[in-house]
Amino acid sequence: MRIKRPLITAAAAFAVFALTACGGDSTSGEATESAATEAAVEDEGDGDPVTITVGASPTPHAEILQFIQDNLAAEVGLDIKIVEFDDYVLPNVALDEGDVDANYFQHIPYFEQQVQDKGFEFSHYPGVHIEPYGVYSNTLTDLADLAEGSKVGVTDDPSNQSRALVLLSELGLFALPDEPLQGDSYTTFDIADNPLHLEFVSMPAEQLPAALPDLAIAVINGNVALNFGLKPSEDAIALESGVDNPYSNIVAVRTEDFERPELVALDELLRSPEVKEFILERWPDGEVIPAF
């Protein structure tokens, strides 16, 4: 979808944006926060809002977008159409094919891996929130009780598998080398010392919660856990820290659209004080953490 007719003008000038290289010939963009987020619509005098279509995971991304649509979007002349996706593949395909104007579902390492692997000409704005990874189990309440030879579930996409393995290594279950043996992401083949002889089972992230009965533990990211009814602050045996976490979730756009005023306005709303307050109130136990 492309919006050509209406234009948004900022009440105060938007900040200058810097695009930085990200994998191959593609770019990843970062924008400094503008001094103002309020905008007015210039639509040949009729005052209609600009409609933008944003692909998002149901929780928390779509919930945050819905809060903006219900409370903030009209003030800056936006009408946000939210399209929900239940997997990690289709949102970037939809963005590349022009079916959505932006997507909001992925963290920066996953974005960079996708750009490198798929050749997407995408850019991104700064981080909005973080969903801490957690270790879950149907049978254990303490990792000290993990038996030798236990099955451990991890996601099968490279960047998130690496994140899960780093968490488990920091919890003392095994050791990883200082750098991955191949590429930029750790895999189960990188495990240097596995004293419990743990068996790793890789699968799509959205399948991990349902597989818990067949696993001793599984590392599940925040929004997948929430979608399955798991509460990270209460149900996780161990939870990733949000301090200096590089896995902040971002809004991605086609690089050619990076400076479109309506997309810049959306990004600014996502990192506004109102959204920060909403995140803290909606997820008071730290299941979702502001990254700004």
**CA angle centred on 85, ends 268 and 26, rounded to 5°:** 60
Q: What is the reported pLDDT for 245? A: 79
pLDDT digits 0-9 by tens, 71-105: 999 999 999 999 999 999 999 999 999 999 999 99
Query: If pLDDT is split at 50, 70 and 90, which confidence band does 167 have?
Result: very high
**Token pair of 86, please?**
């239940």
Q: What is the reported pLDDT for 233? A: 84
Q: What is the mean pLDDT of the chain?
A: 85
Of 15 and 115, the structure prediction assigns the larger pLDDT to 115
Of 51 and 21, the structure prediction assigns the larger pLDDT to 51
The mean pLDDT of 20-29, rounded to a whole number, is: 38
Q: What is the reported pLDDT for 244? A: 72
Query: If pLDDT is split at 50, 70 and 90, which confidence band does 284 have?
Result: confident
The mean pLDDT of 46-57, rounded to a whole number, is: 91
The rounded distance, in Å, linking the Cα atoms of 167 and 232 is: 15
Do 54 and 78 form a contact (C-beta atoms < 8 A)? Answer: no
pLDDT cut 90: percent of the chain above it:
69
Of 8 and 105, the structure prediction assigns the larger pLDDT to 105
Residue 44 pLDDT > 70 = no
pTM above 0.85, yes or no: no
Of 22-31, 39-48, 124-133, 177-186, the least confident: 22-31
Q: What is the reported pLDDT for 34? A: 46
Of 286 and 56, the structure prediction assigns the larger pLDDT to 56
Of 47 and 150, the structure prediction assigns the larger pLDDT to 150
The rounded distance, in Å, linking the Cα atoms of 149 and 278 is: 43
**Token pair of 198, please?**
């743990």
Q: What is the reported pLDDT for 28? A: 43
Extract the runs of DSSP E, i.e. beta strands, from the chain.
7-10, 17-21, 27-31, 39-42, 50-56, 78-84, 102-107, 122-124, 129-130, 134-136, 151-155, 199-203, 217-220, 238-239, 249-254, 289-290
Query: If pLDDT is split at 50, 70 and 90, which confidence band does 6 have?
Result: very low
Residue 26 pLDDT > 80 = no
pLDDT digits 0-9 by tens, 179-224: 999 888 899 999 989 999 999 999 999 999 999 999 999 999 887 8
The rounded distance, in Å, linking the Cα atoms of 199 and 61 is: 33
CA torsion sign for 156, 64, 291, 102 is positive
pLDDT digits 0-9 by tens, 251-276: 999 999 999 999 999 999 999 999 99
Q: What is the reported pLDDT for 192? A: 86
Residue 42 pLDDT > 60 = no
Per the omega criterion (within 30 degrees of 0), is the bond before 60 cis? Answer: yes
Backbone angles phi, psi at 142, to 5 degrees: -150, 130
50-56 and 78-84: which strand pairing?
Answer: parallel
The rounded distance, in Å, linking the Cα atoms of 257 and 103 is: 12
